[in-house]
Chain A
Amino acid sequence: MTQKEIEVILARQLADYLAMPIFIVDPAGNLLFYNEPAERILGMRFGETGEMPAERWSTVFEPKTEDGDALEPDSLPLMIALTKLHPAHGSFWIHGLDGVPRHIAVSAFPLIGQADRFLGGVAFFWEIEE
């Protein structure tokens, strides 16, 4: 089993201790980890979903714009952060895996490690009170 880069391991450890929802992906956008606060918004425990390909997580939550139009995976802040290598922010609706629609805001940034190694991305997100 390939070991994650140390910066990714430390990001997970930090996420594990924070009370804010965090989602971590590899450079290709594949889900590596989300923490307990994120589980409450995404509607399923990480232990149940496990790691997930980018194509799956970017559609399984059925992201929609504020107007209800389907959001293309490339438009998600985390995918923008990965492709453009700069921070991105946005708000949109998702459908949690528990069946509950939630309005969320997301701030994402690419994870650049020592020696400018591109290691993936991290998204912080939170539920918008209606």
Chain B
Amino acid sequence: MKVKLWGTRGSLPSPGPETTRYGGNTCCVEVLGSEGTLLVLDAGTGIRRFGAAIPTPPKRVDVLLTHLHMDHIQGLAFFAPFRTPGVEVHIWGPASASLSLSTRLSRYLSPPLFPLFLREMGSTMILHEVPIGEFDIGEFRVDAALVCHPDTTVGYRINASDCVLTYIPDHEPALGVRDFPLKSDWTSGYELAEGANLLIHDSQYTHEEYRERVGFGHSSMAQAMQFADLSQVEHLVPFHHDPAHGDEELDKLISQAVETTNPDFQVTPGKEGATFQLGG
């Protein structure tokens, strides 16, 4: 399984000289299986460059949305395969308790917020309300589970025959927990992440920022480390960086967290363009 980060920023695109190394694009991750199955995790602004880099249009691509906040869907209409006739684009995302995925997605992809309607994109689009539990996409078995974040939000566990990737970009497992983490069975996202080879996880805030933003749906860097430790992952990629954090600040935040905790797992900063090879 090849994994490439096309957008690592949270909340708001943040281009500029201070974010050149970590990148300013919002969440988008490419997952390519050894048999050619192509998944896209979230459709933040990073998806535009990804779409432009695909040499020939794929016959099918599956876009897995964790939720419908703007930083996870803003790039969807700018994903080249989405506008290419003959390409099957499967979009998976959560419905809410009362609204379908189509209705929720159309709130953004329609006038006056966007000039075109969802149905006018050109490709063959198939919407799937993501089931809570297991489902298969090509060579992958995907687990989806609701996680702690405002509005209906899921995380994904992508299982290949020889490796596991877990993607929980927006996650506040420490919400309401006096002494985080609790035991694993009382921790949001645990089953998705347990023993994963690679965990891409929310680490938006510093400790001080988190204290001022409890309930916003995100984790501090330290909480991401604690969650990764509890879940016994092999490798953590801190992700969904705060728009206000420049490259130097992120370097410092991540290196300090590693020095402080001396984790049993590898930590690689989530930088735009970073690639990971999992399994054989």
Q: List residues of A whose CB falls within 8 A of some B CB.
A: 1-7, 9-10, 12-14, 16-17, 113-115, 117
By the criterion CB–CB under 8 Å, are A3 and B184 in contact? yes
Alpha-carbon separation in the docked complex, A115 to B187 (Å)? 21
By the criterion CB–CB under 8 Å, are B147 and A14 in contact? no
User: B148 contacts which chain A residues (CB < 8 A)?
Assistant: 6, 9-10
By the criterion CB–CB under 8 Å, are A13 and B177 in contact? yes
Partner of A6, one of B95, B131, B184, B188: B188
By the criterion CB–CB under 8 Å, are A114 and B146 in contact? yes
Alpha-carbon separation in the docked complex, A12 to B152 (Å)? 18
User: A115 contacts which chain B residues (CB < 8 A)?
Assistant: 95, 131-132
Minimum distance in angstroms from A3 CB to a CB of chain B: 4
By the criterion CB–CB under 8 Å, are B145 and A6 in contact? yes
By the criterion CB–CB under 8 Å, are A16 and B147 in contact? no
A-B contact pairs, 21 of them (CB 8 A): A1-B183, A1-B185, A3-B184, A3-B185, A3-B186, A3-B187, A6-B145, A6-B188, A7-B146, A9-B148, A10-B175, A12-B186, A13-B175, A13-B176, A13-B177, A114-B95, A114-B132, A114-B146, A114-B152, A115-B131, A117-B132
User: A3 contacts which chain B residues (CB < 8 A)?
Assistant: 184-188, 190-191
Q: Considering only CB atoms and an 8 Å cut-off, how many residues of chain B contact the other chain?
A: 23
Contacts A114-B95, A114-B97 known; list 15 others, CB within 8 Å.
A1-B185, A2-B185, A2-B191, A4-B186, A6-B146, A6-B147, A6-B148, A7-B146, A9-B148, A12-B186, A16-B176, A16-B178, A113-B146, A114-B94, A115-B95
User: What are the interface flags for B185-205 relative to A under an 8 Å C-beta threshold, 1 for contact and 0 otherwise?
Assistant: 111101100000000000000
Alpha-carbon separation in the docked complex, A117 to B95 (Å)? 14
Q: Is the interface of B mostly helix, strand, loop or mixed?
A: loop
Alpha-carbon separation in the docked complex, A117 to B177 (Å)? 24
User: B97 contacts which chain A residues (CB < 8 A)?
Assistant: 114
User: A9 contacts which chain B residues (CB < 8 A)?
Assistant: 148, 186-188
Alpha-carbon separation in the docked complex, A2 to B187 (Å)? 10
User: A12 contacts which chain B residues (CB < 8 A)?
Assistant: 186
Which interface residue of B94, B148, B177, B188 has the most chain A CB atoms within 10 A?
B188
Alpha-carbon separation in the docked complex, A7 to B96 (Å)? 14
User: A2 contacts which chain B residues (CB < 8 A)?
Assistant: 185, 191
Alpha-carbon separation in the docked complex, A9 to B174 (Å)? 11
Minimum distance in angstroms from B253 CB to a CB of chain A: 26
User: B177 contacts which chain A residues (CB < 8 A)?
Assistant: 13, 16
User: A16 contacts which chain B residues (CB < 8 A)?
Assistant: 176-178
Alpha-carbon separation in the docked complex, A6 to B150 (Å)? 12
Docked complex: B41-80 residues within 8 A CB-CB of A: none
